[in-house]
A and B are shown apart, each in its own frame.
Chain A
């Protein structure tokens, strides 16, 4: 089956720093989503981005489907950005998640 790999597994930043999270997938996909899991466990959908670039405030994402990767950019990070970031691809109607990147933003 399709493999989804995320890097880095862990990231520690000072407040105000920028970061890039990467998601590689092993096969062609029709779509890719980025999620943020907050400390209470809820997964919040950040981007639905099968290809191209999208921006939402300090966050942006780029998917290059032909090269099978996606990037999530976080600029001017805040402590509230802490948590686990997952990318996920849809295969026959179900989401296949990566292992996640755990981000800690220190004040």
Chain B
């Protein structure tokens, strides 16, 4: 039973570029949430997708957008990258919005 998988594991971009991160949820899960974890901090909620719609959003600008596909996988897009966007981006999945989440290993994004 595959857990939550994320790709790529590491990514280096320059300021102003755009990036797309990908997540496949755990088998049987239909809800995907994205979190941003800056160095030395706890993860911060970005948004949650269920039934291909954004259901909840944290305090992040519109440069952060997402998508969920019919197979429940998800993408996180960040436009006009800033140095401050450098962080570990974590994807978590659950079933029907249950509170117990399963996390992937994350994508480490570095913006130079």
Instruction: Report which A residues bind B (CB closer than 8 A).
Output: 4, 31, 33, 35, 40-45, 48, 86, 88, 90, 92-100
Contact = CB atoms under 8 A, between A and B. Distances in A.
Contact of B103 (A43, A48, A90, A94): A43
B99 A43 contact: no
Contacts of B23: none
A93 B103 contact: no
B108 A41 contact: yes
Contacts, number: 58
Contact of B88 (A41, A45, A90): A41
How many residues of B sit at the interface, in one of the four size bands? Answer: 20 to 34
Q: Is the interface of A mostly helix, strand, loop or mixed?
A: strand
B56 interface: yes
Contact of A45 (B45, B48, B100): B100
B84 interface: no
A59 B99 CA distance: 21
Interface string B98-110: 0111111110100
